[in-house]
Amino acid sequence: MNAAPAPGSTDRTKGRRIPENSVTETAALHGVLDAGLVAHVAVVDESAQPYVLPVAYARRGGQVLFHGSTGSRLFRGLAAGQPTCLTVTLLDGLVLARSAFESSMNYRAVMVLGIATQLAGDDELDALACITEHLLPGRWAQCRHPSAKERAATMTLALDLTECSVKIRTGGPDDDPADLVDPIYSQIWAGVVPIGKDFQTPVADEHTPSHVEVPEYITRWRTS
């Protein structure tokens, strides 16, 4: 099997705006996708109205997997072969410069272009397991798996990572040199405010027996 093209290697994905933030390593592409939890998928309906849908997802090798309702006309459009764009963005920090114009964000972002494929049978079940394990490692072995009725109500799609771009910004502000020597603006605080995220303390619902403790695999959950 031929290796997928590197991120940013097509005319549609080549970085033109701030190209120094573009990354072409496949490992970086996988790293961002593996760290995220929510993707946004673009859909255009029959009236040419664009929509953007938030979806849970997972990466399986060279694919991004996501699912929705079989009753959704937008998902049916994707399954029918409508071109789409899927994005994942991780916000790592706010970059405060001495001017509003030069202030920015540190981020990791992926864009995937292509046509999704609807999955079925054991392949679909494996994809649902991958999504569950990506979001909640260890949960698939502990929870009830989808019934035939539930699977009939679920549409699972795969989007190949054959046309992608990756952009990453790190570091501090890039101030206007004049602001650094200005007697007023040089006294403004500038730097980076990191943004972290993690799972909080689990809260059991009212139906969980009091003797059932929070499983260790849940307390180990972390984000990156």
pLDDT band at 1, cuts 50/70/90?
A: very low
Average pLDDT over residues 174-190: 97
Query: 3-class DSSP state for residue 76?
Result: helix
Q: CA 140 to CA 132: how far, in whole Å?
A: 6
Closest CA to 131 of 142, 140, 122, 123: 140
Q: What is the pLDDT of residues 183-202, one digit of tens each?
A: 999 999 999 999 988 888 99
Contact assessment for residue 72 and residue 154, using Cβ atoms and an 8 Å cutoff: no
pLDDT of residue 15: 85
Average pLDDT over residues 142-152: 96
Residue 189 token pair:
């605080």
pLDDT of residue 210: 93
pLDDT of residue 18: 85
Q: What is the pLDDT of residues 34-85, one digit of tens each?
A: 999 999 999 998 899 999 999 999 999 999 999 999 999 999 999 999 999 9
pLDDT of residue 46: 87
Planar angle of CA 128, 137, 5, nearest 5 degrees = 65
Asked if pLDDT for residue 3 goes beyond 90, the answer is no
pLDDT of residue 181: 97
Average pLDDT over residues 94-102: 97
pLDDT of residue 143: 95
Question: What is the phi/psi pair of residue 115, to 5°?
Answer: -120, 125
pLDDT band at 17, cuts 50/70/90?
A: confident
pLDDT of residue 94: 97
> What is the overall mean pLDDT for the chain?
94
The share of the chain scoring above pLDDT 70, in percent, equals 98
pLDDT of residue 222: 80
pLDDT of residue 2: 57
Q: Of the CATH numbers 3.40.50.800, 2.30.110.10, 2.60.40.10, 3.40.50.300, which one belongs to the domain with range 19-219?
A: 2.30.110.10
Q: CA 168 to CA 32: how far, in whole Å?
A: 9
The pTM of the full predicted model, rounded to 2 decimals, is 0.92
Asked if pLDDT for residue 133 goes beyond 60, the answer is yes
Helix (H) or strand (E) holding 77: helix 73-79
pLDDT of residue 197: 83
